[in-house]
Amino acid sequence: MAVTVGRVFLAQPCTSASFIGNGNGKHIHRTAFGFSAKPGAAPSSHSRIVVRAQERPTWLPGLDPPPYLNGTLAGDFGFDPLGLGEDPESLKWYVQAELVHCRFAMAGVAGILLTDLLRVTGNSSLPVWYEAGAMKFSFASTTTLFIVQMILMGFVETKRYMDFINPGSQAEEDTFFGLEAALEGLEPGYPGGPILNPLGIAKDIKNAHEWKLKEIKNGRLAMMAMLGFFVQASVTHAGPIDNLVEHLSNPWHKTIIQTLANSSS
């Protein structure tokens, strides 16, 4: 048995190897099996030198990302199959648009799950989330609420766009009723101040790469969750908590496969 193992070991024609610096300008040759040769010694004829650079993570392993996506943007994994970011100015706007969509999706997912949980547990008479927009309120008509929302959202989005065009312009004195310092942005897309950043997270936004990456990952997950909520509502005519409770009641027979099969029949 030992002889057989030894023959198999010696029969290997080549092994991966690497050169590792030892701190004094010399290099040590080390094979994949962990053996070291003397400094300056040439590798044996049965060894093969393999030089590997650290590969950048991409959305598809082995994919070469486009040159304009160089990994400096938060959450850049080289995904742009339509080439929308080839123009640098357009890429800047798409980055801001994705941030806004991510934040709305995260707020929407949290709101849907919370209100749906309250509704299912009987703690509230809230409607299912996709019917909430049809609710009537006694303090104002639907038309009034719509107009007020358009005015407020239009004002906020206009200021956001102006800050994108001219970074820092919205924090200048006398641009917002003396509240400029409280709303001062850290950089376009990342508002600051005690109102929009009360915890003081990532004040050094230029070096907050980890925080930016966490936000964009959570935001993309939330956008996928919202897409799932839309499909669920269309197919099952129920909220996400209702769907979860139904699935848990019979996990082997209440799945997406059976649901889609029943909806198509």
Q: 27 a known binding residue?
A: no
Question: Rounded distance, CA 164 to CA 221, Å?
Answer: 25
For residue 19, name the pLDDT band (cuts at 50, 70, 90).
Answer: very low
**What pLDDT, in 10s, does the model give residues 24-34?**
444 444 444 44
pLDDT at residue 181 above 80? no
Q: 30 a known binding residue?
A: no
**What pLDDT, in 10s, does the model give residues 51-77?**
444 477 888 888 888 989 988 899 999
- Position 46 scores a pLDDT of 52
107 with 120: CB under 8 angstroms?
no
- Position 265 scores a pLDDT of 64
164 with 96: CB under 8 angstroms?
yes
Q: 247 a known binding residue?
A: yes
pLDDT at residue 3 above 80? no
Question: Rounded distance, CA 48 to CA 34, Å?
Answer: 14
Mean pLDDT throughout 32-42?
46
Q: 172 a known binding residue?
A: no
Q: 187 a known binding residue?
A: no
Q: What is the mean pLDDT of the chain?
A: 78
Closest by Cα among 247, 240, 249, 263 to 118: 240
- Facing residues of 21 across strands? 27
For residue 105, name the pLDDT band (cuts at 50, 70, 90).
Answer: very high
- Position 250 scores a pLDDT of 85
- Position 136 scores a pLDDT of 85
The 10 Å Cβ neighbour count of residue 145 is 12
- Position 175 scores a pLDDT of 67
The alpha carbon torsion through 206, 208, 210, 212 (nearest 10 deg) reads -80
Q: Which positions ≥6 away from 171 have C-beta within 8 Å?
A: 180, 181, 183, 184, 185
Q: 160 a known binding residue?
A: no
Question: Rounded distance, CA 230 to CA 223, Å?
Answer: 11
Q: Which of residues 30 and 103 earns the better pLDDT score?
A: 103
Q: 227 a known binding residue?
A: no
- Position 49 scores a pLDDT of 52
CATH class, domain 88-260, is mainly alpha
**What pLDDT, in 10s, does the model give residues 185-232?**
678 888 777 777 778 777 777 788 898 999 999 999 999 999 999 999
- Position 213 scores a pLDDT of 93
Q: Is the dihedral of CA 158, 161, 166, 168 positive or negative?
A: positive
